[in-house]
Amino acid sequence: MNSLQKMLIVLPVIIVSSVAPSVTLSATPSETATPVLASKPFTSENLERVFNAKLIEQFSPGLSVAVVADGNIILSKGFGKTQIGGLLAVTPDTPFYIASSTKAFTAHISSDIARSKPHSMTPPIMTTPVQKLMPTLRFHPNVNVEQVTLQSLLNHTHGISGDGPVTYRTAFTGEFQSAQDLLALLPHHLASAAGNSFEYSNLGPVLAGYILEHLTGKAWQDLVDEKVFKPLNMHNSANRLTQLDPQKIAQGHEFAGDAFVISKAKKIDKNMHAAGGTYSSANDLAAWLGVHLQQGRWQGKTIFPSELIADAWKQTASQNRTVGGMKRVGWSLGWDIAEYKGQKIYLRPGGFTGYSAHISMMPERGVGVVVLSNGGQLSGMMNQHIVDVIYASLLSEADHDARRIEAENKLQANYAKMIQAQLAEKQKRAARQQPLPLPMANYAGTFENELGTLECQIKDNQLILKMGIAEADTEVFKAEEHAFRTELLGRGQILTYVMKDGKVTGLNLGEKFFAKKL
């Protein structure tokens, strides 16, 4: 367990999933003709019955889904509202924040740029140490810089820990003035304990985005616009929040014991990054899946060279983790490669405070599924359920209707358990609210370390934390230890003040020490 994992304290979430059977992976899809499901043509009517609208509303304020098969979008549908208590309905064109699903776009533009470079370049751009591509980059002395290539950054084998200031400042706080200022903090990232084995984090794709900017002279966001969004007419997708109508965006929510509340996590242009900086819609992402399933063609036109699709499907690293019944065994440059329902599946999910996204495809079956929701962890459970029942229907699994009803009953049971668990947690947390040893004003101040500047402010006798654009409330955790609980950086953390001679000299946020600024 790394220090980031140790500092995260989260509420229990019960998730229902089926275990995928083990299968032998076949040839890379690009080596075979794109197959079609021959059993019957699929229409929206065939799939409509798998959706339980009341159950979806229970698990998420809003949800959008799209299904691709046989070279067409065969279903796209919205449920609920963009905001709890609001009037604007979610449609298949509603933009949702899709977080780490962004990594597939960064991989695509990397492949495109690498292929546009002279073929005589030795070694090729993907396997050239990045310090030769961008000589200003500096790393911690214990990082093996010869192993840090564009490919290793994209497939999470670069050997650098993701626990550090570049990750936090790009994903949460936006606390940097320029790319140069941000990358100057890279030496604070130690070598990974996993060495050059696969270790998933945001750091690699974030750095890849800046290297692409250096090589092309274009911002990463503009490269995605130019090479992905515009060719596919993805009009409801953006890597800058300011390009979208804020009134039409699905707002992120979290489930607070017995009701959804709007998430306090903020996204602005500054913390929209190459590992998780995209808003997109179900229809737009269906086109993104469709062009892969059609070997670079979509709606009768050639959009991308087939070689780029081959790059997306080629395994470049191995992994071993099972999530939602999908046994992830490999990684290409931007997609997980997994075994699921006896099939080979490519997926790139995403999650952030208030949002959950699922994007996947079975190239050898010619089908793909998009599910986007704005109810945080709870709606992530619904996402997986919808994915399961759609693929069960598309693959004509035996008794899939009966199994769907059984799964819905399990979801309802787990929903009840989750409410009980969260209400019990609320009571437990309420009991912790004991008088503090010092007057509240003593806990105010400015604290600093390599992660950034942490402002501790007192408002209405409550401690409020701010780091860049990130802001969070606190509650007493252990009064006698001057300890508070907060969710400043995406998940629950414990903040403990460090005292000397009865005065505050610093604080620990998880295992990270911040010195008080005098």
Same domain, 446 and 362: no
pLDDT band at 3, cuts 50/70/90?
Answer: very low
Of 369, 392, 409, which residue sits at a domain end?
409
Same domain, 352 and 480: no
Same domain, 456 and 386: no
Of 367, 394, 409, which residue sits at a domain end?
409
- Tell me the CB-side half-sphere exposure of residue 429, using CA atoms within 13 A: 19
Q: Is residue 426 part of a domain?
A: no
Q: What is the DSSP pairing of strand 336-340 with strand 493-500?
A: unpaired
pLDDT band at 5, cuts 50/70/90?
Answer: very low
Quick one: 45 exposed, middle or buried, by C-beta within 10 A (0-12, 13-18, 19+)? Answer: exposed
For the segment 185-192, the average pLDDT, to the nearest whole number, is 97
Quick one: 6 exposed, middle or buried, by C-beta within 10 A (0-12, 13-18, 19+)? Answer: exposed
Q: Tell me the helix, strand and coil percentages in the chain, rounded to 5.
A: 35, 25, 40
What are the backbone angles phi and psi of residue 284, rounded to the nearest 5°? -65, -45
Q: Is residue 420 part of a domain?
A: no
- pLDDT at site 324: 87
Of 369, 394, 409, which residue sits at a domain end?
409
Which of these ranges, 153-162, 171-180, 258-267, has the smallest mean pLDDT? Answer: 258-267
- What CA–CA distances, in Å, run from 500 to 215, 378, 497? 50, 42, 10
Q: Distance (Å, rounded) from C-alpha 383 to C-alpha 351?
A: 11
What are the backbone angles phi and psi of residue 206, rounded to the nearest 5°? -60, -50
Q: pLDDT by residue (tens digit) across 291-311?
A: 999 999 999 999 999 999 999
- pLDDT at site 253: 96
For the segment 271-288, the average pLDDT, to the nearest whole number, is 97
Same domain, 359 and 262: yes
- pLDDT at site 258: 78
Tell how far CA 276 is from the center of its chain. Answer: 6
Same domain, 387 and 475: no
Same domain, 393 and 506: no
Tokens 């020490």 found at: 513
Quick one: 455 exposed, middle or buried, by C-beta within 10 A (0-12, 13-18, 19+)? Answer: middle
Q: Is residue 18 part of a domain?
A: yes
pLDDT band at 259, cuts 50/70/90?
Answer: confident
Same domain, 262 and 365: yes
> What three-state secondary structure class fits 197?
coil
**In this structure, are residues 112 and 105 in contact, taking their beta carbons and an 8 Å threshold?**
no
Q: Distance (Å, rounded) from C-alpha 224 to C-alpha 494?
A: 38
Buried b (16+ CB within 10 A) or exposed e, 471-486: bbebebbeeeebbbbb
Q: Which helix (H) or strand (E) holds 207?
A: helix 203-216
Q: Is residue 187 part of a domain?
A: yes
Q: Is residue 418 part of a domain?
A: no
Q: Which helix (H) or strand (E) holds 441?
A: none
- pTM of the predicted model over 0.75: yes
How many DSSP H helices and E strands does the chain contain? Answer: 14, 23
Residue range of the domain that includes 385: 3-409
- pLDDT at site 491: 82
Residue 257 has pLDDT above 90, yes or no: no
Q: pLDDT by residue (tens digit) across 368-387?
A: 999 999 999 899 999 999 99
pLDDT band at 45, cuts 50/70/90?
Answer: low
- Total number of domains constituting the chain: 2
Same domain, 405 and 457: no
| CATH classification at residue 152 | 3.40.710.10
Q: Is residue 428 part of a domain?
A: no
Long-range contacts of 197-200 (CB under 8 A, 24+ apart): 197/157, 198/155, 198/156, 198/157, 198/317, 198/318, 198/319, 198/331, 199/156, 199/157, 199/162, 200/156, 200/319
